[in-house]
Amino acid sequence: MFDLDFAQALHTLTIALVPALLGIILHEVAHGWAAERQGDPTARVMGRLTLNPLPHIDPVGLLVFGLTSLSGAFVFGWARPVPVNPRYFRNPARGMMLVALAGPLTNFLLAVAFGVALSLTLNFFPFELWRQHTLYMFALSSFQAGVVINFGLGWLNLIPIPPLDGSKVVAYFLPGNTAWRYLSLERYGFVILLVLLFTGALGHVLGPLVSGSARGLLRLLGIL
């Protein structure tokens, strides 16, 4: 039983690996790209506007991703944050809000891209004719995972808990001192997220958002 469970967990991790890495890396690249559009060259100067995963890997974030994938729990992980210097921005508050939104929006676009890839695969290679092919089934599973994982990453990062992206969006609409006090909660944010994750509260919040988004997209694409 142990060998079977481990094999299944490893299979799940393999399916999720590429969609998750793409989602996490492109999320950070999008932050850097948006910052550069606002006048901040820091990410490019530091070599972070690249699809090479090595500069983006955070060892702890990668470990957490592996553990949550193998456990079958909510997939959770992160990359090294792209450095952003708002002093380059003409409007720092607005610039930070736009930079923050770029990451989740990229994940939502990736979810749509994986959904379209799934739809095209099913249209050109009908399931009934190809389901015996291992590579075909792996591709379908990976595309499905890409939809779910990237919706998950997008909604997760929009939660308004500092330092998640959603907090910077909320801060934009708060008065100066209130925004500063709110964002100063960042030092507790990681602990809050871990508590929410391991108590299941995070899943209760994100579950309906992720499943609803995924089902809506797949229905729109005619898959469900």
Rounded distance between C-alpha atoms, residue 219 and residue 224, angstroms: 5
Q: How many CB atoms lie within 10 A of CB 223?
A: 15
What is the per-residue DSSP string for 27-88? HHHHHHHHHHHTT--HHHHTT-SSS-SGGGB-HHHHHHHHHHHHHTS-----BPPPP--GGG
pLDDT score recorded for residue 1: 42
Helix (H), strand (E) at residue 181: helix 176-183
| Cα 96 from chain centroid (whole Å) | 19
With vertex at residue 51, the alpha carbon angle to CA 36 and CA 37, rounded to the nearest 5 degrees, is 10
Q: What residues contact 218, with CB distance under 8 A and at least 6 apart?
A: 115, 118, 147, 224
Segments making up each domain of the chain, as ranges: 2-220
pLDDT score recorded for residue 70: 62
- Nearest Cα residue to 47 out of 58, 59, 55, 37: 55
pLDDT score recorded for residue 4: 47
Count the residues in the chain: 224
With vertex at residue 133, the alpha carbon angle to CA 131 and CA 134, rounded to the nearest 5 degrees, is 110
Q: Which residues of the chain have pLDDT under 70?
A: 1-6, 66, 68-77
Q: What is the pLDDT of residues 128-165, one digit of tens each?
A: 999 899 999 999 999 999 999 999 999 999 999 999 99
